[in-house]
Amino acid sequence: MRYLPLSDNDRAGMLATIGAGSIDDLFADVSEAARLPGPIPGLPDHAGEMAVERHMSRLAAESVPAGSVPFFLGAGAYRHHVPASVDHLIQRGEFLTAYTPYQPEIAQGTLQVLFEFQTQVARLLGTEVANASLYDGSTACWEAIAMAGRITRRSRAVISGGLHPHYVETARTMAKFTGDVLDTRLPELSAATDDDAVIAAIDGATSCVVVQYPDVLGRVPDLKRIAAAAQANGALLVAVVTEPVALGLLESPGALGADIVVGEGQAIGVGLQFGGPYLGLFGCREKFVRQMPGRLCGETVDADGKRGFVLTLSTREQHIRREKATSNICTNSGLCALAFSIHLTLLGGTGLDRMARASHAQAVKTARALAQVPGVSVVNGAYFNEFAVVLPRDARAVVRELADRQVLGGVSLGRLYPGVDGLANGLLVTATECTSDEDIAALVSALKEVLA
Amino acid sequence: MNELNPSGWRPSTGEIGTVDVPPTFTGNRALQLEEPLIFEIGSVDQCGVDLPDADDEVLPGLPLRAAPVDLPGLSEPEAVRHYTRLSRQNYAIDLGLFPLGSCTMKHNPRLNEKVARLPGFADVHPLQPQQTVQGALKAMNELAHWLITLTGMHGVAMTPKAGAHGELCGLLCIRAALEARGDLREVILVPESAHGTNPATAAFAGFRVENIPATAEGRVDLAALTARLGPDVAGVMITNPNTCGLFECDMKAISDAVHVAGGYVYCDGANFNAIVGRVRPGDLGVDAMHINLHKTFSTPHGGGGPGSGPVVLSEALAPFGPLPFSARQADGSVRLVEEENAAEEGHSQAFGRMCAFHGQMGMYTRALAYILSHGADGLRQVSGDAVLNANYVLRSLDDVLDAPFGAAGPCMHEALFSDDGFAEGFSTLDLAKGLIDEGFHPMTVYFPLVVHGAMLVEPTETESKAALDQFIGAMRSLAQRAKAGDPALKSAPHMAPRRRLDETLAARKPKLVWREA
């Protein structure tokens, strides 16, 4: 087998050194009843590289890749152009096949990247510090709620209806077990965000207010106002960003007063990948650093006085603190952080600004074109690159019928909010710099056909 | 410190210790290249991507930035060079043996990378209509079938994002199952030798953690565990094979006792590589076990993730597993079971959702390609060779290093040593740092906590005998130097890109982001 270097001759010689008669003898501690005499029945035997590649390629061919058709999906996962050099660099074996940098003398490559990543993320989110990544945006969002609870010693979180429903569900799952109370609400198909309702729900028992920016329908809440209301009650503002490219154009949540900013970094460098692996971004005020979850990389010097980097503040972490740790996280999303960091380095601030403006411009074109389709109305006033429209009938069926015409037209709110009647006709539409004018024309024409 | 060089950055050459190695102007040492931070070489206006000019209109009513984010950019050639230079300061499996115990640093096949990038897996959106993602769903479902069959379990929760997330998933299943029967138990028993994630996870899931002791032979003390069982114990978390590299031979008896007492058995599957294809955890009475796809099934560790931690579940816990998951239909298609159709699929007791979307698809495809390559027969050989390699290391070193459990018989996939017999003032850390100069990544050190100065060596099955012999030679030499008290070992490594780093300074005055001096 191509991945196993030992020959039968090697095995025999090594067994002689050990003093065992066979490999099976090395499993003597496993009870006879649990030891299988041969390969597990009902599963195929080994296959060559050609055969495996053929099988996987055939499976892959049964999906419709986003890049092969007009494509308008977002809702927490975005298709932006990723330069070829990003994927080349993350496949360098020294990055790809390294472990968590526990031995800093021979892991400065990964560590310096993490230090650069933390700085890039902090600048993008507008926070003083950032960590070395978490699993994804949804788990980062829960970690922020849990951290706000530790800081304020309160356990009631006010959640805006604009927060992605999967993020709400993830938090709800955890809160069931930790005893935190989540004050949630559903979004409405209107141009206004629910800032007023959220502010009215804040009181002296509130640990944090969780607001997505832009929100799940692409609207932009007034973070400054919400931050002031939270602060007046001793609560923290947790801002959630699912489309980090928006921050190329919009003011950062940190600058608008958010205490903790979390995000999904997938849109930059990582790609769609059917939902994972993605990249949790986590930034906050420096005074909260000892309550942060996840790995942190810090600058230091070596025995010769040279600058170097190490994982630090690990007394917060599970391998030291065990049941008293701030989080149970061990593995995070290192290679995705690398992809994000390389892409952002290729863009620079000006490139990110241009990518954001190009995405915004295509979204504006798309919205204006859709507004001309009979029976379709655009919900949003302002938006970045994602907006909601109301269709004359159930959007789930419309999305499927569009797919039959080889157009991936958006995410139906029925998929995100099953059983919520008031949202069933809502469709989320997203454009990025990858969206062409031909794609927009194809969407409009297919939608006219489907709705005729 | 030397001066600013023409590019504007100050290489941190520090003090050069010996006359044999004269300082260089750049701080470089031939192929060992110093690399500044992007903040020292890039500029906000530099860009390595072609984008349309920024003269587009912007909708009114948005809170716009006054200026672009202060992020340095680099042109493509500069960026490629920056990251390539940095990569060369890393040790990696591609360079040599990486014997980190409990981490299973095996070869990462490049076929996995190739198939994971097929557009039908990599360029599909998680919320595309299901009719357009059948390829991705079928791959996910095929892997699920393999995981269930290899472990002899009833179901699998695919979404957990890494091992610790899988532990959480398993414990939440236990919570949900207990709640469903109206039996609120709050204690989880964890052996002292467990990974730190076990107690952290149990606490995170709202349980109270109690330790159970080990026997002198390095295994769970069955009598002590049985004595502690009772109506307040929700379950146990046992790593098998355990972190001392030993199989828990009482595992079935432990499971039976826990079940009789009304609890559930969580198995930490971090060490599944030792038994894959030979032993099914389902046959040992396990109720839930996570599988680190980035260990046993060869997906790359990527310098700290992404991982993937699917959790296989017994019949008792499977109904409580999280959403979403995939279900094969009568017509051969695969359907995603989400919130809206969970009841139709008989899964209305699901405890909820653990993350957005459907888990680590990019890891599923890599793991599936690996599993199909080995097949049922090859996976049996994987565990066999992994255990053979570990025992070969154990028996080739136990005359020069103390092996606390070596006398008891063969180890599983990792060999455990202690620092017993080192010269006064010499520790496991010194030997580990000496390995760096010898061109190896150190083993796991000071874990498990139950052994003094523990050194946990996991060679994996993808090492050749020649590679092992070279490693063994280096270890024998280092063991002798540690016993003899060689002062040069105390300050190792001498030849790495950096010498020992001041971790105390880093923690005392944390510098977590770059700021202009």
* Claim to verify: residue A307 and residue A170 sit in the same structural domain: yes
Sorted by sequence, the CB contacts under 8 Å of residue A48 that are 6+ apart come out as: B373
**Per-residue model confidence (pLDDT) at position B11:** 55
What is the C-alpha to C-alpha distance for residues B93 and B107, in angstroms, rounded to an integer? 6
Distance from the Cα of B263 to chain A's closest Cα (Å) equals 18
Sorted by sequence, the CB contacts under 8 Å of residue A202 that are 6+ apart come out as: A158, A209, A229, A230, A233, A235
Residue A209 φ then ψ, to 5°: -115, 130
**Per-residue model confidence (pLDDT) at position B16:** 44
Check: CB of residue A268 under 8 Å from CB of residue A356. no
Running along chain A, 452 residues long, what does each successive block of 10 average in pLDDT? 96 98 96 93 96 98 98 98 98 97 97 98 98 97 97 98 98 91 98 98 98 98 98 98 98 98 98 98 97 95 96 79 72 93 98 97 97 98 97 97 98 95 97 97 98 95
Nearest Cα neighbor of A74 from A406, A366, A371 is A366
Nearest Cα neighbor of B193 from B322, B100, B101 is B101
**Per-residue model confidence (pLDDT) at position B424:** 96
Of A343, A358, A378, which one is at a domain's C-terminal end?
A343
Reduce the DSSP state of residue A199 to 3 states and report it: helix
Per-residue pLDDT tens over the stretch B5-42: 444 555 555 554 445 678 899 989 899 899 999 999 99
DSSP state letter for B186: -
Residues in chain B: 517
Domains held by chain A: number: 2
* Claim to verify: residue A405 and residue A305 sit in the same structural domain: no
**Per-residue model confidence (pLDDT) at position B7:** 47
Inspect the interface and report whether the beta carbons of B376 and A43 lie closer than 8 Å: yes
Residue type, B410: P
DSSP state letter for B319: G
Inspect the interface and report whether the beta carbons of A56 and B365 lie closer than 8 Å: yes
Residue A143 lies in a domain: yes
* Claim to verify: residue A314 and residue A332 sit in the same structural domain: yes
Reduce the DSSP state of residue A387 to 3 states and report it: strand
**Per-residue model confidence (pLDDT) at position B180:** 95
Reduce the DSSP state of residue A17 to 3 states and report it: helix
* Claim to verify: residue A233 and residue A380 sit in the same structural domain: no
Sorted by sequence, the CB contacts under 8 Å of residue A84 that are 6+ apart come out as: none
Inspect the interface and report whether the beta carbons of B497 and A177 lie closer than 8 Å: no
Residue A12 touches partner B, C-beta closer than 8 Å? no
Of A327, A343, A359, which one is at a domain's C-terminal end?
A343
How open is the CA angle A160-A162-A167, to the nearest 5 degrees?
A: 85
pTM of the predicted structure, to 2 decimals: 0.96
Residue B108 touches partner A, C-beta closer than 8 Å? yes
Q: Which residues in chain A touch residue B56, judged by CB atoms under 8 angstroms apart? A: 357-358, 360-361
**Per-residue model confidence (pLDDT) at position A344:** 98
* Claim to verify: residue A247 and residue A230 sit in the same structural domain: yes
* Claim to verify: residue A333 and residue A361 sit in the same structural domain: no
Inspect the interface and report whether the beta carbons of B132 and A408 lie closer than 8 Å: yes
Residue type, B246: L
Reduce the DSSP state of residue A412 to 3 states and report it: strand
What is the C-alpha to C-alpha distance for residues B228 and B330, in angstroms, rounded to an integer? 47
- Which residue from A minimizes the CA distance to B99? A99
Inspect the interface and report whether the beta carbons of A330 and B164 lie closer than 8 Å: yes
A 303-362 → B contacts, CB under 8 A? 303-310, 312-315, 317-325, 327-336, 338, 342, 344-355, 357-358, 360-361
Size of interface A-B (CB pairs under 8 A): 738
Cα of first residue to Cα of last residue in chain A, in angstroms, is 59
Domain range B111-368, its CATH number among 3.40.50.300, 3.40.640.10, 3.20.10.10, 1.10.357.10: 3.40.640.10
Residue A452 touches partner B, C-beta closer than 8 Å? no
Per-residue pLDDT tens over the stretch B109-125: 999 999 999 999 999 99
Q: How far is CA B272 from the centre of its chain?
A: 12
* Claim to verify: residue A332 and residue A360 sit in the same structural domain: no
Q: How far is CA A355 from the centre of its chain?
A: 19
Neighbouring-strand partners of residue B288: B266, B313
Whether residue B306 has a cis bond before it, omega within 30° of 0: yes
CA atoms within 13 Å, Cβ hemisphere of B259: 14
* Claim to verify: residue A154 and residue A204 sit in the same structural domain: yes
Q: Could you tell me the pLDDT band of residue B214, with boundaries at 50, 70 and 90?
A: confident
Domain range B380-503, its CATH number among 3.30.750.24, 3.40.50.12170, 3.90.1150.10, 3.40.710.10: 3.90.1150.10
> What residue spans define the domains of chain B?
111-368, 380-503
Sorted by sequence, the CB contacts under 8 Å of residue B352 that are 6+ apart come out as: A169, A170, A172, A173, A176, B322, B323
Residue A51 lies in a domain: no
Residue A3 lies in a domain: no
* Claim to verify: residue A316 and residue A263 sit in the same structural domain: yes
With tokens 């999904």, the residue in question is A264
Inspect the interface and report whether the beta carbons of A46 and B206 lie closer than 8 Å: no
* Claim to verify: residue A325 and residue A360 sit in the same structural domain: no
**Per-residue model confidence (pLDDT) at position B12:** 54
Q: Which of B21, B32, B87, B437 should be substituted to probe chain A, the one whose Cβ sees the most A Cβ atoms within 10 Å?
A: B87
Residue A18 lies in a domain: no
What CATH number should be reported for the domain holding residue A218? 3.40.640.10
Radius of gyration of chain B (CA): 26
Check: CB of residue B448 under 8 Å from CB of residue B456. yes
Q: How far is CA A417 from the centre of its chain?
A: 20
B 361-400 → A contacts, CB under 8 A? 361-363, 365, 368-369, 372-382, 384-385, 387-389, 391-392, 394-396
Inspect the interface and report whether the beta carbons of B442 and A57 lie closer than 8 Å: no
Per-residue pLDDT tens over the stretch B377-403: 999 999 999 999 999 999 999 999 999
Residue A179 lies in a domain: yes
* Claim to verify: residue A336 and residue A233 sit in the same structural domain: yes
Where in the sequence is the domain holding A442, given as residue range(s)? 70-81+348-451
Check: CB of residue A100 under 8 Å from CB of residue B84. no
Q: Could you tell me the pLDDT band of residue B277, with boundaries at 50, 70 and 90?
A: very high
**Per-residue model confidence (pLDDT) at position A280:** 98
Task: Point out the residue among B122, B131, B368 whose CB comes nearest to the CB of A273.
Answer: B122
ipTM confidence score: 0.97
**Per-residue model confidence (pLDDT) at position B14:** 52
Residue A39 lies in a domain: no
Task: Point out the residue among B252, B298, B339 whose CB comes nearest to the CB of A418.
Answer: B339
Residue A326 lies in a domain: yes
Of A343, A373, A405, which one is at a domain's C-terminal end?
A343
Nearest Cα neighbor of B368 from B119, B146, B36 is B146
Check: CB of residue B297 under 8 Å from CB of residue B379. no
Residue A57 lies in a domain: no
